[in-house]
Structure 1
Amino acid sequence: MLRVHKHIDVTMAAPELGDRVEMAVTLTLPDPSAMPDRPVAIFACPGGGYSRHYFMMNFEGHEGYDEAEWQARHGLIHVAIDHLGVGESTIPDLSRIDFQIMAATHDACVRQVAASLRDGTAAEGFPPLPSLRLVGMGQSMGGGVTILTQGRFATFDAIAPFGVSAIHTALPQRDKAAFEHGIRRFDKVASGQVTSHLNHDHEGVDYVYPFHWEDVPADILEEDMKGGYPIRQTAPIFGSITIPHCAVQMMLPGVFAEDAARITVPVLIGDGERDTCPQPYREPAAYSASRDVSLFIVPRMAHMHNFASTREILWRRLNDWSRMVARTGT
């Protein structure tokens, strides 16, 4: 396994920002002999408040939290991306990033990395892969970015939006009253009075219950939450203090409807047993132009999938499904 860190210049995709714009990526490359005949690259982007290192987590005294390494050991290329305004990518004025800029820069980044993998310039000694297939995968906000990017630029050969609803993304709560309370707090976002998670009203909203199943080790839970959430004062390596302001709009009903309806490639919807799709079995209908839509729900998993004890079930499903769609070319 080989791990390569890069910064990709996507300035041309966001000329309205007026400055140089780069996106941080980490390629985790498998032994070429382990790759399938039709090689696959998973382009993964994280949720709000997290960085690309969410896909490469390591905790002292615990094993098996590095999804990128797992995918590479099982033959797939993994490309983790900090989208614009997140982690180690360029952090412009966060209020100037809109859905179109997020999608355009993500598309530009993916296409450049994919070109380097296809022509053999991604890493010294790594072979060219002219028949490479691209799978766009994102968790939570990253899933929203994936939907936007595919709907507007048709970047990928297949997509796997995880922990995001194409109908209405909403945080589960411990009871119905608390859930409805959380939903009502987005009325000001819908009316334009609130434009960022920084001035959104988070009072009374439980973030631990929707994010983490009860069997997540206490020290790992503490590492994730100790700096605060959703407004982080400090962040672990897998976290991000910054979130593009427009991300708060991703929690509004119907915000992804038009983009999801334009997607024609295969779609794998992945959710935890307790997640942000209030009615998961309705989700496939949102991708009405695709002829291949799957839904996979993982037991004992909450919204932050890679912390769950059952995380490998989802990783394996993504790996198997990606190989399948690459092989069939549907």
Structure 2
Amino acid sequence: MNKAEPLDLRLDVSAALPNEITGGEALDIAVWVFLPDQLPEKPTVVTLLNGGTYDRRYFHFDVPGRSDYSLAEYLRARGHVVILPDHLGIGASDRAKNQKLATRQVCAAANHAAVEQVYDRLRAGTLNPAFPALPSFFKVGGGHSMGGFATITQQAAHRTYEACLILGYTAHGVHLTIGGKLVSADVGQLDPDHSDYSLPDREILRATFHWDDVPEDVIAADNSLAVEVPYVLGAQATMTGIVTADAATIDVPVYINLGERDVSPDPHAEPGYYRASRDVTLHILPRSGHCQNFASTRLEMYNRIDHWVRYHAG
């Protein structure tokens, strides 16, 4: 196997979920695992969760004729093990029997169970015969947008990670750029009659997602990968204050990255939500919209994450 190609795993997480979610059947989370060619003295494992309208390909993105759009490959090439799961009900992962019952807490339990299985295989050396067992490693987890929301929820409930990356998300409440102004995206109360899935209009989101210099072919490639969002998970991710209490319990180091034009109404207030953490970094990426992975300045974020993880791993 070429180590530059990710392992493609399916991990049964049904034991971690209530029966009304599984219907008594197996439910799998689809996971890519990127294994580096060389490991640092203190191995690091970085899990990244995609945001709404995306699947795991957000962090391993291919634009024909262009390069350096994969944060996963960037980190792998620098010695990090990288885990990219698809959320429950998104991408190649299985859907719940009733996806409307798959709240943020349910999806966090599924992601935690999947990541823990990868951790167990890393310790046992059973992921790949050519890859050594890792008795210990530094565990980092994070995500973009809805993935940042899911990370905050998961860390508060399960303490999966020793450091967290919150990319393009706000612990206050999501705002979108509409007509040049920030407008709250809070949907209010959940609508029981809403369809299980929806696909927001990416054209409406363009000013939020992308800085003005993002090439048209990059945006076209991005739009071609759009996936449906489970209604409940996507709606919860927009609600004002929904993770404020959870963020306040996170006591590990936190790296916050927001684009110069992003979803937080007050970027410099974001570190204050992580009151239990003694080490919070705020990095505002210049000339970047909400989707930093497509910004012309994205390598600045990639480089900062690499060094930040190495520093905290010791």
* Structure 1 residue aligned with 2:26: 20
Q: Deviations over 1:98-154 (max 9, x none)?
A: 111011111111111111112211212101111211100100001111000000110
* Structure 1 residue aligned with 2:85: 81
Q: Residues 279 and 210 (structure 1 numbering): CA distance in 2 closer, same or farther, change over 3 Å?
A: same
Q: Residues 129 and 267 (structure 1 numbering): CA distance in 2 closer, same or farther, change over 3 Å?
A: same
* Alpha-carbon distance, 1:203 to partner: 8.9
1:70 equivalent in alignment to 2:74: yes
* Structure 2 residue aligned with 1:218: 216
Q: Residues 64 and 290 (structure 1 numbering): CA distance in 2 closer, same or farther, change over 3 Å?
A: same
Alpha-carbon contact 1:97-1:244 (below 8 Å) kept: no
* Structure 2 residue aligned with 1:110: 115
Q: Residues 191 and 56 (structure 1 numbering): CA distance in 2 closer, same or farther, change over 3 Å?
A: closer
1:156 equivalent in alignment to 2:161: yes
List aligned pairs for 1:61-210, cutoff 5 A.
61-92=65-96, 93-176=98-181, 179-180=182-183, 183=184, 186=186, 189-193=187-191, 206-210=204-208
Take 1:134 and 1:286, find their aligned partners in 2: how far apart are those partners? 22
Take 2:17 and 2:152, find their aligned partners in 1: how far apart are those partners? 19
**Residue 301 of structure 1: which of 268, 288, 295 is its match?**
288
What is the count of residue pairs matched by the alignment? 307
AA paired with 1:14? Answer: L
* Structure 2 residue aligned with 1:51: 55
AA paired with 1:223? Answer: A
Q: Residues 155 and 223 (structure 1 numbering): CA distance in 2 closer, same or farther, change over 3 Å?
A: same
AA paired with 2:299? Answer: E
AA paired with 2:116? Answer: R
Give the 3-state SS of the residue equivalent to 2:93 in structure 1: coil
Structure 2 spans left out of the alignment, 5+ residues: none
Give the 3-state SS of the residue equivalent to 1:104 in structure 2: helix
List aligned pairs for 1:240-251, cutoff 5 A.
240-251=227-238
Q: What do you get for the CA RMSD once the two structures are aligned?
A: 2.2
* Alpha-carbon distance, 1:40 to partner: 0.6
Runs of 4+ in structure 1 deviating by more than 6 angstroms, as ranges, are 197-205
Take 1:136 and 1:103, find their aligned partners in 2: how far apart are those partners? 12
1:292 equivalent in alignment to 2:298: no
Alpha-carbon contact 2:29-2:93 (below 8 Å) kept: yes
* Structure 2 residue aligned with 1:228: none
Q: Residues 195 and 267 (structure 1 numbering): CA distance in 2 closer, same or farther, change over 3 Å?
A: farther
Give the 3-state SS of the residue equivalent to 1:121 in structure 2: coil
Q: Deviations over 1:231-252 (max 9, x none)?
A: xxxx52xx32343523212211
Alpha-carbon contact 2:63-2:221 (below 8 Å) kept: no
Take 1:313 and 1:196, find their aligned partners in 2: how far apart are those partners? 40
* Alpha-carbon distance, 1:219 to partner: 1.4
* Alpha-carbon distance, 1:213 to partner: 1.2
Q: TM-score normalized by structure 1? A: 0.87
Q: Residues 50 and 202 (structure 1 numbering): CA distance in 2 closer, same or farther, change over 3 Å?
A: closer
* Alpha-carbon distance, 1:199 to partner: 8.8
Take 2:199 and 2:213, find their aligned partners in 1: how far apart are those partners? 29
* Alpha-carbon distance, 1:211 to partner: 0.3
* Structure 1 residue aligned with 2:44: 40
Alpha-carbon contact 1:136-1:158 (below 8 Å) kept: yes
Alpha-carbon contact 1:194-1:200 (below 8 Å) kept: no
Alpha-carbon contact 1:196-1:248 (below 8 Å) kept: no
Take 2:192 and 2:265, find their aligned partners in 1: how far apart are those partners? 23
